[in-house]
Amino acid sequence: MMNLRALPAFLALSSLLAGCIGENEDILFVEPRIEAPTADVKAGVLGATMTGSFTLKLVLGPRASGPSTVQLGAVAITDAPNQQSIVSGFSLISTQPFPVTVQPDSEVTIDFELDETISQETADTVCLPAGVRIAGTIQDSLEVGATSVASDVFKPTGCP
């Protein structure tokens, strides 16, 4: 039978211990996040130009078995539900060359820029009211298989 007088002390101790665990404590593999996505579409004579940028954050918790070497996979502009690629295979300019190494209990931030010529039809799809995402994959040397990542939905500027 449980001593009910000890229950408040147990609950207080449990909440103290839970508060000691950092937010990245349980991240054993690299956790990617795409933040601050932007895209600007400009109509032209032979189609349209799309420029944009985003930040890729790679986080690894302190309990990881060691550092991770991360490769960047394919990156695309997708529809809002992230089910269909709209623009893929474009060139990216990054602030760091790949592969990058992420040490345990650290974060690596990489900024990207894109500048792509697209068809007017593709520009019209990018400009749909539902918005788009930037999505891609990374390969983490600590994990088998690729890890998918996608930004929040955003609306490109320059759309009619």
Please state the rounded mean pLDDT for residues 38-44: 94
Amino acid identity at 90: F
Residue 80 has pLDDT above 80, yes or no: yes
Residue 12 has pLDDT above 70, yes or no: no
Q: List C-alpha distances in Å: 5 to 12, 35, 64, 67.
A: 13, 48, 39, 46
CA–CA distance, 79 with 159 (Å, rounded to integer): 15
- Residue for token digits 């211990």? 17
pLDDT for 40 equals: 97
Judged by average pLDDT, the poorest of 23-27, 56-60, 113-117, 146-150 is 23-27
CA–CA distance, 122 with 110 (Å, rounded to integer): 27
CA–CA distance, 152 with 78 (Å, rounded to integer): 11
pLDDT for 114 equals: 95
Split at pLDDT 50, 70, 90, the class of 23 is low
Split at pLDDT 50, 70, 90, the class of 70 is very high
Q: Which residues is 88 bridged to in the sheet?
A: 76
pTM, 2 dp? 0.81
pLDDT for 10 equals: 43
Q: What is the pLDDT of residues 89-139, one digit of tens each?
A: 888 999 999 999 999 999 999 999 999 999 999 999 999 999 999 999 999
Amino acid identity at 26: D
Residue 18 has pLDDT above 50, yes or no: no
Split at pLDDT 50, 70, 90, the class of 26 is low
